[in-house]
Amino acid sequence: MPRFAANLSMLFTELDFLDRFAAAAEAGFSGVEYLFPYDYPAEEIKARLDAHNLTQVLFNLPAGDWANGDRGIACDPERVEEFRAGVDKAIAYAKVLGNSQINCLAGIAPKGADLGKLDMTFIENLRYAAKKLEAEGIRLVMEMINTRDIPRFFLNNTSQALEIRDKVGSTNLFLQYDIYHMQIMEGDLARTLENNLAVINHVQLADNPGRNEPGTGEINYRFLFEHLDRIGYQGWVGCEYKPATTTAAGLGWLKSHNAI
């Protein structure tokens, strides 16, 4: 079975953020991820990781004003300096927390924007971030997100991501493949994962519809977990789903797959 990481932005949300680390460890997880660490001192998060023997798997580059609707700024030509400052901030956190990969969210395309200019900005920002992160031994991943949940999200399918990766031209840029988002946008999950295994460095999951835990929707997760093993996927699988009731009540899928 793959290695599963608890996404602490979506699981155990009945607890304060810093208390979710203990809950994840108690539930049997050995790794954690989340959207952002930046509201807390890195040393305080590191203490929770160490206390519960958890691996810090992933977090995102600063993504603008999340509370007011930003979902990344990497494609925005007006925010390049903000993006670059965010890369430095993320590196500082990663060096303390010990994670070896960071995700970049492209952001929402402004209405009426020149898509060619957004594409060029995104490529240049990825090139900049990939180089800076590589110097610190950190991999950069980029995530494709469905345009039903986030209308006009700029990076929204695998073929687009592969084309952008080619244009960036960095061996330190990889894909983050979220099964939930890509089931909505393109389907053909198993074949896409296998065909692009060399450039997929992180996988996330949730079922569809509802974005709840595996087993609540249409995706055959038993098959996909076995498929990931069969094709030799070595990375983590982040559990980025909304529990249908409580996190603890919904963890039966993990135990049934002998995952923890």
Residues identified as active-site:
143, 240
Tokens of 137: 């031994």
What lies within 8 Å, CB to CB, of 177 at 6+ separation is 144, 158, 192, 193, 196, 200, 202, 203, 204
Q: Tokens 């990497």, residue?
A: 74
Contacts (Cβ under 8 Å, ≥6 apart) of 87: 61, 128, 129, 132, 133
Question: Cα(first)–Cα(last) distance of the chain, in Å?
Answer: 9
Spatial separation of the C-alpha atoms in residues 204 and 214, rounded to whole Å: 11
